[in-house]
Amino acid sequence: MALKIIYAVLTVVVGIGAAVLLYWVLNKLVELLPGRAEGALKPYAYILPAYAAITVFLIYPAILTIIDSFKDSTSTNWVGLDNFTRLLSSHDFQQTLINTLLWIIIVPALTVVIGLGIATLADKLSPAGERLSKTVIFTPMAISFVGAGTIWQLMYAYQSSGSQIGLLNAIWTKLGGSPVAWLSLTHFHVNSLLLMVMLLWAQAGYAMVLLSSAIKGVPEETLEAAAIDGATSSQTFFRVVVPQIMGTIVTVFVTVLITVMKIFDIVYVMTRGNFNTNVVGNEFYNQLFKFFDYGTASAIVVLLMIAVIPVMWFQVRHFKREEAV
């Protein structure tokens, strides 16, 4: 354990040191140029490492992935669109798409609603109470999805007889019910909904922090004007506050939406995609590391990229509108 801590500290120190050294060297090289050239090239020198990293670790692999999606499982022979047609005609993959669509429809919207509700209620507490409540609610953000999935797997733990270690089953049996294998309930996608609860628990703090800051930034003059006009608290909130923080609401929604579209950790840790809980991210993992089918795995990634592009385009346009305002 001590050795792992030492390795982690060394990794952080060496990584930060290497970054500082790189920018120091680039700065010194630019300073050797004549005055006008130095001023023109210095901004590019500072963004060069970022562009290089994006090219090497994002653009280049994306191009290779697109190429491999048109090849067979060993990425040696061209098969055209066979990987895509086989995927989209597969009943199992269609069900995977439906499950992913449920995550997309439910989680981002509920995250915004829950975060907005918590932010509004927390702002009505005393300063000490507000700080405490926000700290507690934001704490799950510090836990990785793998760790959170492990915790919630214990929450849903099931034993056919004897004492129940799972909190949900312990409460249910105390109320007189029989133990339930919650993560095996495929009817009405109950098990998928239970997995979504875990992500809502983890993301509510993120939404709360951003939305709370936005609410505090609403001008008092508009709230006072609404009160003078006789608006009720709910009318003030939905007709005055919400329109003025719509930019932040959209940002939170899109950010969580992108997280949901590539969700993998939670499903893999809690169910391995069994019991009709599979999602696109987990199916990609199965194809690549379980079946070693590089062509099909690449096709899944390409489909996910195609689905993400409109969301990213909308987000960029939204940022530009916000900057213009």
pLDDT score, position 325: 67
User: What is the average pLDDT score of the chain?
Assistant: 90
Q: What share of the chain is helix, strand, coil (3-state, %, to 5)?
A: 80, 0, 20
3-state DSSP assignment of residue 94: helix
Distance between CA atoms of 93 and 95, rounded to whole angstroms? 5
Asked if the model's pLDDT at residue 249 lies above 80, the reply is yes
Nearest to 200 by CA among 35, 88, 192: 192
Q: What is the mean pLDDT of residues 29-37?
A: 82
Of 66-70, 177-181, 312-316, the range with the highest mean pLDDT is 66-70
The tokens for 160 are 């056919």
Asked if the model's pLDDT at residue 202 lies above 80, the reply is yes
pLDDT digits (tens, 9 = 90+) for 93-112: 999 999 999 999 999 999 99
61-65, 77-81, 158-162, 217-221: which has the minimum mean pLDDT?
158-162
Confidence of residue 142 (pLDDT cuts 50, 70, 90): confident
- Burial (CB count <10 Å: 0-12, 13-18, 19+), residue 280: buried
Residues in the chain: 325
Nearest to 152 by CA among 198, 191, 103: 198
